Structure 1
């Protein structure tokens, strides 16, 4: 019998916790097998609250040793501990509560709470991991000041770290201790400790007000020479937040620790950020340009949380995007300032469409502020993060940058030390401008991606633009309302020159409009030539654009538009149209050839590439197979993939001389630098390597692989070789493995390269990887490099016609869910995309999902899979 659907927690049922925790004192006797945790909490009844019948505290998998109230030992008749909840009657409106419990870090394979990573002890408490450490009201609106004492064997754990400032340390026989005090109130999800045999590099930072802060990054000894870039990114992040938002760091020390086993990317614990080593450790030999950019972004993201998440936290988990969406917006702005704003914006849009648009169109679509959840772990989604950031950008585009920044600063200042809501955020923004931001709440409450339909016409010298918006129904939300959409538009003639139009008595070549109705009509008088409309410039809102542009008009924009996003998007739009036609042709054994218009667009890129290599690389990036699946109904992924192969072949054949010349001139032995300009050149080289893979021979690519002197070029060439999947790829893989088999972070690249390749027999290759001696289900990075790379990045293999891709992934999910439910549930979201696949394969996928639901699976997995299964 299938599992019962897990109970849902509702936003409407939110009630404040009746008590404040004025002070939390924690003492740890650290040991990997059995750690003793002693806690003392000072309770005070909140003003206007009545003394409740029971005090309820969260506690999961805790071995209870003793409890005390006001110093008095409780016997078992004075409390209950069941279903992960401790309950006891309060003695008064103010009292102290003490607990002594034991936990086993070594046995904690879910990596939530206190666990063992390698030989280090570390914590992950967001969202609900602190309850695995000791009893506490484990919710974000209960904030407390924490004092922490750590004691451990000084040889095994010479480094002892916690939140806040270090205040004391010493030696006790074979053990030593360290005491830390955090003066800033925080919720339990921001608590952190680390104990291990780690090395560190330090730097000093002087804040805006002249305060000296000691910065430390701790890693395993093997990684100590690969953290300089992370330190540099941290210093730049701290300076940027002071310059742009006036936010200054507020402790004497800032510690960052890298660990090998981590369920996510990193965690913003107050003063003690804990990172997945993959997002901290880098040099030219082990990391790609993508890795360097990611490290820069994530370092900034977690540091920015010091204010947008820590000093101002979220009242409840329904407000999660208040901290995550805002912080993503801030890290995107930081990256844009550090690199190329135009390229960064397009990268942001690519990620949004690949992940969030698919999420909005799938069975687990939810609003930026969900109204219910069964497991909060399942709501660390692209909707919360990336769409949340885009909604904040909508507000910025309506208010203007100056007013937006004033509102953000007011939000930080008025909510400092508080657990805030989205309403608090919007109130601060509205106070900075006369614009009321009417309707913006609907961006937070409605699921789904709005569709903006644009129709233009020229009749008797009157040029009209008709704009209409609608949001398709989503699960549990059949009816949608209009949302505010800021739009920037400009006008071009058939020669690609900007046109000046008369609008309400003013001559303009561009217009800004805040669309605040379902339909809007704009008219221009005295127009002799129909303009080519450039719209959604800068991608000012997370919408899907449907326009009546012809391919000829799109080609004009692709060649001449001065808005880099519209220029890129115009080329992508022509390519998407033709690739979908091509996929249909392949399916029906019809001839397919790309149009002269599209080929001219691509050919032009090679002629202008030297002006901006990074941007040219983006222009050459074909629409992804997954994106084309989302634009289809009853898709056959192998046909879409084949159409992409035909287009890439045409691009190569028409430009092989330019590609060959660039590669021949490319300096494979050039000294590596991670700066944006150098990375842009390498990204263009990667596009050329990929196109070179459409040549008959692979030997040239293999020789380039052998001569490449940095990981970026090596992985670009390995990707190109993987497309062909021949003996040259096998040789390159063997070289790569022998060079890096002792480095787990680099070895993840070896696994992901193979799992994502559509060449040959992808499912057989996946099965071989699953029995590889270096594959383990207990390490999230390795799981993501194989299972997620296959399920998400290999739509041809995952959606194999015989269902073997689905079967293999479900078999692994059953095992993984028993080890790490959080990671298993995230891999399972790949099945959301199956709703766009042709019916026979959907039916096979449904059979395997129903098989999964019959297992004794976690509530995280149950919530994700049951909703997907209902929609297939």
Structure 2
């Protein structure tokens, strides 16, 4: 395996268009797990806007057999990962290459690899060069025709991009299939599958009147778990055509589920490859979260057909052009599928929680980078929360600034201008502004585009001043952004700030800005473009105003508004914006935790806060899904990012003490909620039932916690019985998690029973490993259990899902078990990074990010973490992917 320990820096400013264009790619594969022969015939044209240059093709881990130009041998040389032809004979020519690859030796799962007896590909970002020599860059777009030949018994299904144009039998038990994709695409969207699979099929008719075949391919025995994925695909097709007038454009659309996959899924043109986690679901094996994830990811990959495939990235620095935009689209789809305003708010809260727990720490760590990065060593490391989730927030701000209809017009202009092209983030923003020339976005486009160029999370400080005599309220705002690598100074961003004002009784006030003739509703969007700005509201009936700022989380910032706990209680009880109502509850929890950490004391929950939570829990007008979110304390991961010199053990102890208080103070209310919100009918993975199950499982967890602390066996016994009798995986997993997190005696037999019941269900075993990896730490027991599970016969580092289930649960979701005073967690981390890197560098580099925020730790954690990172850095054979993460972590 070729290792790239010191990969060169790639800079956005150095971009040059390719010296040659590949217009057509005719590929033929003689498929075999040990040795696959790849024959390519490429129709190439010189880019006449540039001087004559050598043709350079990328290739890694390939055995080159032949190179011909226009049918004749040609002089060439290989330098590292490049095949170089110094002097192509003409401005247009045909290049033929034959090489071999060994799929069964490809543990990186990038390129062509073997899994479960089948052959699959993953080409994004730079995997195609591990299949054959090519200009493996996103701005080289070709029309592909692909012929697959293989043993019919081993590989009865042969798939590639586009439309099936021919298939038939060959000698010696072999067969072939020929596929043609009429749409030019970059090599990262190429895919083939050769495997023994079965398919769920369904025909759909789009609004144009055309019929299309939908197919979902899975291993035999899994077909009954594909109904939800198919329904999600159909819903995505209908939604995209209705919302954005974007139709399905191929004769068929295929999804293939594979066990071994580094990512969640891949949007290859017409042939999406999916991690089984995001395809397979049944009531017995999948939770509400799984069903929801399948709907979201199926939609995301389907939506890429237009935002990513039909229009793609000019270069990898523009990755958010497709990913941020498509995340926004799948978020909008999920909110529309949820239905009610309350269910939509729950979706938005979930998206913001993800942003805060994954992206905000990234902004404050060594991997901080703009949504459109300026430099990288390994592009695989930039499939980040910043590119995806923060990128989606940028698109959402555009949507806020131009409105729903204006955004649809901007999308229409974007496709009118750029369909079939490889473009940049700037071109998307320009299309959105040009379609809405009178919007704040168009007026301040250069300011808005700073979001793409500047790393970090802006800090927004708000201060309000009331004048009782004049009925005026002045809101003074200031914004700043801390320095990051290469960016010591940051300019102000454009911030759309959704705002409402409430009186002390929680009544919304009519809003009229100074200079306006009359009030215009109870909510406004203020547009901030300077470092400091003031906005004055007039005609207010009271001076005692409680501001509700950043409604719906209208900008991805850290807000400091100086609100007291009394103010937050008003918002928590009365705010008409569901997000800010939830946010008020979260901030009250954060305040209590920070006070405990500051004073090195056990947190004591304010009686008014507890009573407010009780009122919220009992409120019949609120959705149970919202109640579950509001009654869940802020996570240790989120709070740790708000506190400097964090002691993870103290934070864990403080949060556990708060949970104990809530469990005790609301014991009767939890019992009421558990009984009141039981789902009485058959299982449906819809928003209403999912909310009920989420709340009853939270109530059960609190009841078991209180019972274990008080020595009562009733609720642990009920939880164990619920685990045994549950008719769905959501309730079964909720019950066993309640036992495991409370360290109840019945947790052990429940875990043993779960393994026995589902030992043949890979995705359920992943859940089994994960729930033990993220269990609430107590006395080092969880960490010791994780080390034991590494030796379990069902555990393997070779399968990304299984490795993530146990290892990532520890480092990304269980700070108290990971950050130990004896540094054992860091030693374990370093050993696993080195071990994983030898197998799968992409997976290793993601796992390596578990110590990104080591500088924010208090001693002795900080020094011990740095020592572990340095030990990994000392390994000379590290891959380029992992080397970049480790080196950046150690940079001053």
Q: Hey, what's the Cα distance between the residues in 2 that align with 1:848 and 1:501?
A: 55
Give the counterpart of 2:575 among 561, 575, 585.
Answer: 561
The number of aligned residues is 863
Give the counterpart of 1:550 among 564, 577, 592.
Answer: 564
**Stretches of structure 2 lacking an aligned partner (at least 5 in a row):** 708-712
Give the counterpart of 1:863 among 849, 869, 884.
Answer: 884
Q: Deviations over 1:418-451 (max 9, x none)?
A: 0011111012111111221431110000000011
Aligned to 1:7: 8
Give the counterpart of 1:432 among 428, 432, 435.
Answer: 435
Aligned to 1:730: 748
Does the alignment pair 1:464 with 2:474? yes
Does the alignment pair 1:672 with 2:675? no
Q: Hey, what's the Cα distance between the residues in 2 that align with 1:657 and 1:752?
A: 31
Aligned to 1:66: 66
Instruction: Kindly state the Cα deviation for residue 849 of structure 1 after the two structures are TM-superposed.
Output: 0.8
Cα contact 1:457–1:530 (8 A) shared by 2:
no
Aligned to 2:484: 474
Aligned to 1:165: 163
Cα contact 2:614–2:669 (8 A) shared by 1:
no
Aligned to 1:84: 81
Does the alignment pair 1:518 with 2:531? yes
Q: Hey, what's the Cα distance between the residues in 2 that align with 1:591 and 1:147?
A: 67
Q: Hey, what's the Cα distance between the residues in 1 that align with 2:620 and 2:703?
A: 17
Q: 1:203 to 1:624 in 2, by over 3 A?
A: same
Q: Hey, what's the Cα distance between the residues in 1 that align with 2:277 and 2:174?
A: 31
Q: Hey, what's the Cα distance between the residues in 2 that align with 1:86 and 1:259?
A: 32
Does the alignment pair 1:148 with 2:146? yes
Cα contact 2:511–2:524 (8 A) shared by 1:
no
Alignment of 1:372-771 (within 5 A): 372-434=375-437, 435=439, 436=442, 437-438=444-445, 439-459=447-467, 461=469, 462-504=472-514, 505-508=517-520, 509-525=522-538, 527=540, 528-585=542-599, 588=600, 590-608=601-619, 611-665=622-676, 667=678, 670-696=681-707, 697=713, 698-760=716-778, 761-771=781-791
Q: Hey, what's the Cα distance between the residues in 1 that align with 2:186 and 2:845?
A: 25
Q: Deviations over 1:798-851 (max 9, x none)?
A: 111111011101101111100000000001111113222113211001111111
Query: Mean alpha-carbon deviation: is it higher for 316-325 or for 338-347?
Result: 338-347
Q: Hey, what's the Cα distance between the residues in 2 that align with 1:501 and 1:392?
A: 27
Q: 1:64 to 1:700 in 2, by over 3 A?
A: same
Q: Hey, what's the Cα distance between the residues in 2 that align with 1:593 and 1:662?
A: 24
3-state SS in 2 of match to 1:127: coil
3-state SS in 2 of match to 1:735: helix
Instruction: Kindly state the Cα deviation for residue 18 of structure 1 after the two structures are TM-superposed.
Output: 1.6
Cα contact 1:574–1:598 (8 A) shared by 2:
yes
Alignment of 1:197-216 (within 5 A): 197-216=196-215
Cα contact 1:614–1:684 (8 A) shared by 2:
yes
Q: Deviations over 1:380-426 (max 9, x none)?
A: 00000000000111111111111111001211221111001111101
Cα contact 1:668–1:709 (8 A) shared by 2:
no
3-state SS in 1 of match to 2:464: strand
Q: Hey, what's the Cα distance between the residues in 1 that align with 2:722 and 2:23?
A: 63
Q: Hey, what's the Cα distance between the residues in 1 that align with 2:699 and 2:14?
A: 56
Aligned to 1:56: 56
Q: Hey, what's the Cα distance between the residues in 2 that align with 1:523 and 1:682?
A: 45
Query: Mean alpha-carbon deviation: is it higher for 681-690 or for 145-154?
Result: 681-690
Instruction: Kindly state the Cα deviation for residue 667 of structure 1 after the two structures are TM-superposed.
Output: 4.5
Instruction: Kindly state the Cα deviation for residue 778 of structure 1 after the two structures are TM-superposed.
Output: 0.7
Cα contact 1:693–1:723 (8 A) shared by 2:
no
Q: 1:162 to 1:786 in 2, by over 3 A?
A: same
Does the alignment pair 1:115 with 2:113? yes
Q: TM-score, normalised by structure 1?
A: 0.97
**Stretches of structure 1 lacking an aligned partner (at least 5 in a row):** none
Q: Deviations over 1:229-250 (max 9, x none)?
A: 0000000000100011110111
**Cα RMSD, aligned residues only:** 1.5
Q: Deviations over 1:755-775 (max 9, x none)?
A: 111334222111101111111
Cα contact 1:617–1:687 (8 A) shared by 2:
yes
Instruction: Kindly state the Cα deviation for residue 859 of structure 1 after the two structures are TM-superposed.
Output: 0.9
Q: Hey, what's the Cα distance between the residues in 2 that align with 1:402 and 1:392?
A: 14
Cα contact 2:499–2:524 (8 A) shared by 1:
yes
Q: Hey, what's the Cα distance between the residues in 1 that align with 2:266 and 2:479?
A: 38
Q: Deviations over 1:146-178 (max 9, x none)?
A: 000000001110000000000000001210000
Does the alignment pair 1:825 with 2:845? yes
Q: Hey, what's the Cα distance between the residues in 2 that align with 1:733 and 1:744?
A: 15
Instruction: Kindly state the Cα deviation for residue 665 of structure 1 after the two structures are TM-superposed.
Output: 5.0
Cα contact 2:5–2:879 (8 A) shared by 1:
no
Aligned to 2:353: 350
Aligned to 1:98: 96
Does the alignment pair 1:809 with 2:829? yes
Cα contact 2:677–2:695 (8 A) shared by 1:
no
Q: Hey, what's the Cα distance between the residues in 1 that align with 2:602 and 2:398?
A: 47
Aligned to 2:710: none
Q: 1:243 to 1:142 in 2, by over 3 A?
A: same
Query: Mean alpha-carbon deviation: is it higher for 103-112 or for 511-520?
Result: 511-520
Q: Hey, what's the Cα distance between the residues in 2 that align with 1:333 and 1:501?
A: 28
Q: Hey, what's the Cα distance between the residues in 1 that align with 2:267 and 2:466?
A: 54
Instruction: Kindly state the Cα deviation for residue 650 of structure 1 after the two structures are TM-superposed.
Output: 2.1
3-state SS in 2 of match to 1:285: coil
Q: Deviations over 1:26-84 (max 9, x none)?
A: 000000010000000011112423321x110001110011111110134xxx1111311
Cα contact 1:669–1:707 (8 A) shared by 2:
no
Q: Hey, what's the Cα distance between the residues in 1 that align with 2:207 and 2:434?
A: 26
Q: Hey, what's the Cα distance between the residues in 2 that align with 1:671 and 1:835?
A: 50
Cα contact 2:677–2:693 (8 A) shared by 1:
no
Give the counterpart of 1:792 among 805, 808, 812.
Answer: 812
Cα contact 1:668–1:708 (8 A) shared by 2:
no
Instruction: Kindly state the Cα deviation for residue 296 of structure 1 after the two structures are TM-superposed.
Output: 0.2
3-state SS in 2 of match to 1:839: coil
Cα contact 2:777–2:816 (8 A) shared by 1:
no
3-state SS in 2 of match to 1:68: strand
Q: Hey, what's the Cα distance between the residues in 1 that align with 2:26 and 2:538?
A: 73
Q: Deviations over 1:65-105 (max 9, x none)?
A: 1111110134xxx1111311000121111111001101000
3-state SS in 1 of match to 2:243: helix
Aligned to 1:334: 333
3-state SS in 2 of match to 1:349: helix
Q: 1:652 to 1:758 in 2, by over 3 A?
A: closer
Cα contact 2:496–2:527 (8 A) shared by 1:
yes
Query: Mean alpha-carbon deviation: is it higher for 615-624 or for 526-535?
Result: 526-535
Does the alignment pair 1:370 with 2:373? yes
Q: Hey, what's the Cα distance between the residues in 1 that align with 2:835 and 2:603?
A: 44
